[in-house]
């Protein structure tokens, strides 16, 4: 029986990793903090073989504690779910002599300021980026770099589009930088975030994500996913469709840009979630990479569309087995997030009529809770999952079902 040490399971992909481990006949030990473990849902705890408690906000201590645990327990592989702990995953794997990513550049997979530097050094097609510490530095930094408006302002460390805004001109720059600095600490561990803010040129065009399992430096790409976001100043994701319909040259371009990005970040053995845009005037541009499985239930979306279980393929890679990414289904799947039409008190969601494409609906907000407007992914009240034989059909079905969905807020 193989033993896997998973650093923090409380993430969107956590349950998928635990299910995949069971399928592979492996035991999973989860590293977390005792207080965070208290907040694990019972369904998540039930999937875990054992736990090891440490302080994940103190990388030196966590590394020492987890290395000692791994040696006494006989751990065969180290895995992660949470973006902020991917550097710890890389360092621990190296310390134990197990397959993993290059720890020397692992920080650049978590921090967008360092990622921009790694991309520039690796000649990865990516938006030109400057890093600033204060709103006062922003205009000058852009000027020096020759970056014109519109620009995208985002925290060096965050996720879920928190603090990300598109800025049309210099007048809004200060507010956007301060907005990006609004979350100095990330829950649930209380991890201190880099206060720097990155500002980058705005890339036009449709957006995609491409997940890649990497085993012994070889990339195994999963189907490309089309990403749907809100327009305007705040770019929250509204949904995803798998697979994206793309001409072969675009698919090749997305894969090539992704492989360049993964090389620049030292991603050699594990999994990566890469977000890219294809501007009308040129080849694909990498927006960001996470050295982790995707969030947004994309593991489920990809599996329903293609039959590929990327959580299992990821665990195979860290167990040093060839990842199985063979397509066993030729269909399409869409996820659509439900966001309230305005801020207020949430009452519920009603889907009118019967829809054969609608295979799952999940409401995550309780009636009576206060909901905000859709500035970032925290405004979601739930999601719908749809399947159909083709991407065009599933997109049409999703639009139809959403048109018949009422999200009640007063």
Ligand X SMILES: Nc1ncnc2c1ncn2[C@@H]1O[C@H](COP(=O)(O)OP(=O)(O)OP(=O)(O)O)[C@@H](O)[C@H]1O
Task: Give contact residues for ligand X (rule: CB under 6 A).
Answer: 127, 152, 154, 158-162, 164, 200, 202-203, 207, 229, 235, 237, 275, 287-288, 377
Site for Mg ion in 377-406 (CB under 5 A): none
Cβ of residue 165: shortest distance to Mg ion, in angstroms? 14
Site for Mg ion in 260-279 (CB under 5 A): 275
Cβ of residue 296: shortest distance to ligand X, in angstroms? 8
Site for Mg ion in 199-238 (CB under 5 A): none
From the list ligand X, Mg ion, none, which binds 154 (C-beta under 5 to 8 Å, kind-based)?
ligand X
- Secondary element (H or E) of residue 114: helix 112-121
From the list Mg ion, ligand X, none, which binds 172 (C-beta under 5 to 8 Å, kind-based)?
none
- Residue 99 or 159: the one with the smaller Cβ distance to Mg ion is 159
Stretch that binds Mg ion, among 138-146, 173-181, 286-294, 318-326 (CB under 5 A): 286-294
Cβ of residue 154: shortest distance to Mg ion, in angstroms? 9
DSSP reduced 3-state for 338: strand
Cβ of residue 275: shortest distance to Mg ion, in angstroms? 5
- Residue 31 or 301: the one with the smaller Cβ distance to Mg ion is 301
Cβ of residue 242: shortest distance to ligand X, in angstroms? 16
Cβ of residue 132: shortest distance to ligand X, in angstroms? 15
Nearest CA among 67, 73, 122, 126 for reference residue 100: 67
From the list Mg ion, ligand X, none, which binds 283 (C-beta under 5 to 8 Å, kind-based)?
none
In angstroms, rounded to a whole number, what is the distance separating the alpha carbons of residues 314 and 272?
9
- Locate 149 and state its tokens: 């408006």
From the list ligand X, Mg ion, none, which binds 235 (C-beta under 5 to 8 Å, kind-based)?
ligand X
Residues 70 and 78: beta-carbon distance below 8 Å = yes
- Residue 54 or 212: the one with the smaller Cβ distance to Mg ion is 212
Residues 99 and 77: beta-carbon distance below 8 Å = yes
Burial of residue 407 (number of CB atoms within 10 Å: 0-12, 13-18, 19+): buried
Nearest CA among 112, 118, 70, 116 for reference residue 94: 70
Nearest CA among 267, 144, 256, 159 for reference residue 217: 267
From the list ligand X, Mg ion, none, which binds 259 (C-beta under 5 to 8 Å, kind-based)?
none
- Helices 14-23 and 310-318, axial angle in degrees (round to 10): 70
From the list ligand X, Mg ion, none, which binds 158 (C-beta under 5 to 8 Å, kind-based)?
ligand X
Residues 385 and 333: beta-carbon distance below 8 Å = yes
Cβ of residue 167: shortest distance to ligand X, in angstroms? 11
From the list Mg ion, ligand X, none, which binds 108 (C-beta under 5 to 8 Å, kind-based)?
none
- Residue 200 or 395: the one with the smaller Cβ distance to ligand X is 200
- Residue 94 or 273: the one with the smaller Cβ distance to Mg ion is 273
In angstroms, rounded to a whole number, what is the distance separating the alpha carbons of residues 324 and 213?
10
- Residue 54 or 111: the one with the smaller Cβ distance to ligand X is 111
From the list ligand X, Mg ion, none, which binds 229 (C-beta under 5 to 8 Å, kind-based)?
ligand X
- Secondary element (H or E) of residue 126: none
Cβ of residue 83: shortest distance to ligand X, in angstroms? 8
Cβ of residue 288: shortest distance to ligand X, in angstroms? 5
Burial of residue 123 (number of CB atoms within 10 Å: 0-12, 13-18, 19+): exposed
- Residue 315 or 379: the one with the smaller Cβ distance to Mg ion is 379
Q: Which residues contact 60 (CB under 8 A, 6 or more apart)?
A: none
- Locate 398 and state its tokens: 């999703």
Which single residue is written with the structure tokens 């499985």? 293
In angstroms, rounded to a whole number, what is the distance separating the alpha carbons of residues 20 and 26?
9
Residues 224 and 210: beta-carbon distance below 8 Å = yes
Stretch that binds Mg ion, among 16-24, 58-66, 217-225, 284-292 (CB under 5 A): 284-292
Residues 178 and 135: beta-carbon distance below 8 Å = yes
From the list ligand X, Mg ion, none, which binds 397 (C-beta under 5 to 8 Å, kind-based)?
none
Kindly list the residues in this chain that would bind Mg ion in the complex (CB under 5 A): 275, 288
């Amino acid at each position: 029986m193989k033993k896997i040490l998973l650093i923090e399971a409380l993430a969107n992909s956590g349950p998928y990793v635990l299910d995949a481990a069971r399928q592979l006949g492996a035991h999973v030990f989860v590293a977390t903090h005792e207080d965070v473990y208290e907040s694990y849902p019972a369904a998540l705890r039930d999937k875990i073989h054992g736990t090891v408690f440490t302080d994940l906000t103190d990388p030196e201590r966590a590394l020492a504690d987890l290395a000692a645990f791994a040696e006494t327990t006989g751990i065969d592989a180290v895995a992660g779910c949470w973006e902020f702990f991917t550097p710890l995953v890389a360092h621990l794997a190296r310390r134990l002599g197990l397959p993993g990513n290059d720890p020397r550049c692992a920080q650049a997979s978590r921090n967008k300021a360092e990622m921009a530097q790694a991309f520039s050094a690796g000649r990865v097609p990516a938006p030109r980026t400057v890093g600033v510490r204060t709103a006062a530095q922003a205009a000058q930094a852009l000027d020096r770099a020759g970056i014109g408006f519109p620009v995208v302002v985002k925290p060096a460390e965050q996720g879920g589009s928190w603090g990300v805004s598109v800025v049309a001109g210099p007048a809004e720059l200060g507010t956007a930088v301060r907005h990006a600095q609004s979350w100095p600490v990330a829950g649930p561990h209380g991890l201190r975030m880099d206060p720097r803010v990155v500002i980058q040129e705005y890339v036009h065009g449709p957006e995609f994500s491409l997940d890649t399992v990497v085993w012994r430096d070889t990339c195994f790409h999963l189907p490309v996913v089309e990403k749907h976001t809100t327009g305007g100043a705040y770019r929250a994701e509204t949904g995803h469709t798998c697979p994206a319909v793309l001409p072969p040259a675009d698919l090749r371009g997305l894969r090539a840009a992704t492989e360049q990005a993964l090389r620049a970040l030292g991603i050699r053995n594990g999994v990566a979630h890469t977000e890219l845009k294809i501007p009308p005037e040129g080849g694909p541009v990498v927006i960001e990479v996470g050295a982790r499985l995707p969030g947004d239930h994309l593991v489920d979306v990809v599996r329903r569309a293609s039959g590929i279980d990327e959580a299992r393929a990821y665990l195979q890679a860290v167990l040093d087995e060839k990842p199985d990414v063979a397509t066993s289904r030729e269909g399409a799947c869409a996820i659509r997030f439900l966001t309230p039409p305005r801020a207020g008190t949430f009452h519920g969601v009603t889907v009118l009529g019967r829809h054969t494409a609608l295979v799952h609906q999940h409401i995550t907000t309780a009636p009576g809770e206060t909901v905000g407007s859709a500035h970032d992914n925290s405004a979601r009240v739930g999601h719908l999952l749809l399947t159909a034989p083709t991407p065009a059909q599933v997109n049409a079905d999703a639009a139809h079902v959403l048109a018949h969905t009422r999200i009640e807020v007063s």
